[in-house]
Amino acid sequence: MAKRKSYAEEVEKLCKVIDIAIEAYKKHPPQGWDSKNIDWVTSCLEKDKVSRLTAEKSSETWHL
């Protein structure tokens, strides 16, 4: 039987992953990247995080 998970639970997990990715880019930037590249990537990740936190939920639960 599929386990039901709330949208909020899944978004919370994803936001933690995004925060880890942002921290990793800042601490260990890819070789050849300058601060503009890092700022752009981390900005995109932040925007994605905010959009998921503020998104309208079409369903309160997901079936996984």
> pLDDT tens, 5-57?
788 889 999 999 999 999 999 999 999 999 999 999 999 999 999 998 888 66
- Name the 3-class secondary structure at 46: helix
Q: How far apart are CA 64 and CA 27, in angstroms?
A: 34
pTM for the model: 0.77
Tell me the average pLDDT across 1-5.
64
Contact by Cβ (8 Å): 13, 62? no
Query: Which pLDDT belongs to residue 53?
Result: 87
Q: How far apart are CA 22 and CA 46, in angstroms?
A: 8
